[in-house]
Amino acid sequence: MKHEQLAKDIIERVGGKSNVKSVVHCITRLRFKLKDEKKADTDALKNMDGVVTVMQSGGQYQVVIGNHVSDVYKAVVSVGGFKDGSATDDGATDEPSGSLFDRFIDLIAGIFTPILGVLAASGMIKGLNALFVAIGLLSNTSGTYQVLNATGDGLFYFLPILLGYTAMKKFGGTPFLGMTIAMALVYPALEGIPGATEPLYTLFSGTMFESPIYIEFLGIPVILMTYSMSVIPIIISTFFAAKLEKFFAKVVPSVVKMFLVPMMTLLIIVPITFIVIGPIATWASQLLGQFTVWAYDLSPVIAGAILGGFWLVFVMFGLHWGLVPVAINNFATQGYDAVLALVFAHSWALAGAILAVWLKSRDKKIKALSAPAFISSIFGVTEPGMYGIVLPLKRPFIITLIVSAIGGAILGFFRTTGYVMGGLGAFQFPSFISPEGFDMGFYAAVIAAVLGFVLAFVLTWMFGDINKKEQASPVTGGNTGKK
Distance CA 101, CA 395 (A): 30
Inter-axis angle of helices 395-413 and 440-463, nearest 10: 160
The model's pLDDT over 247-259, given as tens digits with 9 standing for 90+, comes to 999 999 999 999 9
The model's pLDDT over 429-453, given as tens digits with 9 standing for 90+, comes to 989 998 888 999 999 999 999 999 9
pLDDT grade for 426, boundaries at 50, 70 and 90: confident
Q: Give the domain ranges of the chain.
A: 4-89, 158-296, 299-463
Contact 241, 184 (CB under 8 A): no
Question: Of 350, 372, 386, nearest to 476 (Cα)?
Answer: 372
Question: Of 22, 105, 132, 29, nearest to 72 (Cα)?
Answer: 29
User: Would you say residue 93 has pLDDT above 80?
Assistant: no
Backbone angles phi, psi at 315, to 5 degrees: -65, -40
pLDDT grade for 318, boundaries at 50, 70 and 90: low
Q: Which residue has the higher pLDDT, 390 or 244?
A: 244
Alpha-carbon distances of 454 from 313, 372, 376, 447, rounded to whole Å: 21, 19, 17, 11
211 assigned to active site:
no
Distance CA 202, CA 199 (A): 7
Q: What is the DSSP letter of 159?
A: H
Q: What is the pTM of this model?
A: 0.72
User: Would you say residue 482 has pLDDT above 60?
Assistant: no
- Going by C-beta distance under 8 Å and a sequence separation of 6 or more, which residues neighbour residue 475? 52, 66, 369, 372, 373, 376, 384, 385, 387, 388, 389
Radius of gyration of the chain, Cα coordinates, nearest whole angstrom? 24
Q: Which residue has the higher pLDDT, 78 or 116?
A: 78
pLDDT grade for 58, boundaries at 50, 70 and 90: low
Distance CA 228, CA 237 (A): 15
Q: What is the DSSP letter of 230?
A: -
Residue 144, number of CB atoms within 10 A of its CB: 12
Residue 104, number of CB atoms within 10 A of its CB: 16
Distance CA 355, CA 390 (A): 11
Q: Is 365 exposed, middle or buried (0-12, 13-18, 19+ CB in 10 A)?
A: middle
The model's pLDDT over 2-51, given as tens digits with 9 standing for 90+, comes to 788 899 999 999 999 989 988 888 778 888 889 888 899 998 998 888 88
User: Would you say residue 276 has pLDDT above 60?
Assistant: yes
β-pairing, 29-34 vs 20-25, is antiparallel
For 4-89, CATH number out of 3.90.79.10, 3.40.50.300, 3.30.1360.60, 3.60.15.10 equals 3.30.1360.60
pLDDT grade for 88, boundaries at 50, 70 and 90: very low
Considering the candidates 7, 20, 26, 64, report the single residue annotated as catalytic: 26
SS3 content of the chain, % helix, strand, coil (to 5): 65, 10, 30
Q: Is 219 exposed, middle or buried (0-12, 13-18, 19+ CB in 10 A)?
A: exposed
User: Would you say residue 481 has pLDDT above 50?
Assistant: no
Distance CA 114, CA 29 (A): 12
Q: Across the beta sheet with 20-25, what order do the strands follow?
A: 20-25, 29-34, 60-64, 53-57
User: Would you say residue 402 has pLDDT above 90?
Assistant: yes
Distance CA 280, CA 267 (A): 20
Backbone angles phi, psi at 298, to 5 degrees: -60, -45
Mean pLDDT computed over every residue of the chain: 85
The model's pLDDT over 188-204, given as tens digits with 9 standing for 90+, comes to 999 888 878 889 999 88
Contact 324, 391 (CB under 8 A): no
Distance CA 210, CA 214 (A): 13
Q: What is the mean pLDDT of residues 373-395?
A: 84
